[in-house]
Amino acid sequence: MLRIEHIGIAVKDLSASSELFTRLLGNPPYKTESVESERVTTVFFRVGESKIELLEAQNPESAIAKFIERRGEGIHHIAFEVEDIEKEVSRLLALGFEPAGNVARPFRGADNKLVFFFHPKTTNGVLIELCQEIR
């Protein structure tokens, strides 16, 4: 793992939360993006070498909507940047870490990344995302 790439925060109101984090961090987001496959809209802020990603559900069936319903707004996942996502996913699966959902391979996520998620039940209650820049 190279570094913490970003921390994902589930929010109910992306506009209000973007304003709050703009005031908190002292700078505006650099990107807003819709990720249709995950049914979310995201906003990214730079914080030094890392990022904060705010995630708002596009519909009540999205993972973010269900997360907020169960737990309320807050930290949803921690993403780690990796050099070779295929290799790292294979290594962690071989060690017994379970994928989140019915996904067998990395897939396109937000911010020009290939991503893969590991289920919180095998990572001490924290959803872990691996990500690699699409080259």
CA–CA separation, 76 and 96 (whole Å): 22
Average pLDDT taken over every residue of the chain: 96
Share of the chain above pLDDT 70, in %: 100
By DSSP bridging, strand 74-81 and strand 107-108 are unpaired
CB atoms within 10 A of CB 20: 13
Best CA proximity match to 105, nearest among 119, 121, 116: 116
CA–CA separation, 81 and 65 (whole Å): 25
6 forms bridges with which residues in the sheet? 51, 79
How many distinct helices (H) and strands (E) make up the chain?
3, 8
Q: Is the separation of the CB atoms in 64 and 10 below 8 Å?
A: yes
CA–CA separation, 109 and 64 (whole Å): 14
CA–CA separation, 29 and 46 (whole Å): 7
pLDDT tens profile 76-135:
999 999 999 999 999 999 999 999 988 889 999 999 999 999 999 999 999 999 999 998
95 phi and psi, to 5 degrees? -85, 0
pTM for this prediction: 0.94
